[in-house]
Amino acid sequence: MSNQVFDASIPVLTEVFEEKAEAEAPVQDTLHAELKQRAIEDWSEPEWTLLERRLTERILQQLQGRVDFVLEQRLKDSMEDVLRHAVAGLTAEIQQGLQDTIEKIVVRAVAQELAHLQALKK
């Protein structure tokens, strides 16, 4: 593959698409300008109302998608912080409870052993 020779006269794929886009741009701009002028001159109030409603719906849908994404990210981040804090608190609480329980067991075991030894002494 490294021995391939490239012919500069053959356009690469990106060049083909760039040429096509450049050729279509003036046509699209002209069409857009014609449609805009026709709308300004010929549209009735109901047509403008319909356009406004459709544009509003489309923009709201696009915004809602973005808002949903941002909200989901912030919620995930917040939940992560809340859960991390809750787990840390719960871990500390469990450790303290376990420490208290072990201390009580040891105190009771020592008291029982001392009582047993004192009973043997008598």
Q: 101 pLDDT exceeds 70?
A: yes
Locate the domains of the chain by residue range.
43-121
pLDDT of residue 47: 85
The predicted-structure confidence for 30-66, as pLDDT tens digits, reads as follows: 877 787 787 778 888 888 898 889 989 998 988 888 8
Q: Is the pLDDT of residue 104 over 80?
A: yes
DSSP element (H, E) containing 36: helix 13-42
Q: Quick one: pLDDT at residue 110?
A: 96
Q: How far is CA 86 from the centre of its chain?
A: 22
Phi/psi at 67 (5° precision): -60, -45
List, in order, residues 6 or more apart from 39 with CB less than 8 Å away: 47, 51
Q: What is the pLDDT of residue 17?
A: 60
Terminal Cα-to-Cα distance of the chain (whole angstroms): 99
**Which tops the pLDDT comparison, 72 or 33?**
72
CA-based radius of gyration for the chain: 39
Instruction: Choose between 69 and 107: higher pLDDT.
Output: 107
∠ CA 54-56-57, nearest 5°, is 65
| pTM for this model (two decimals) | 0.40
Rounded to 5°, angle at Cα 113 from 111 and 119: 100
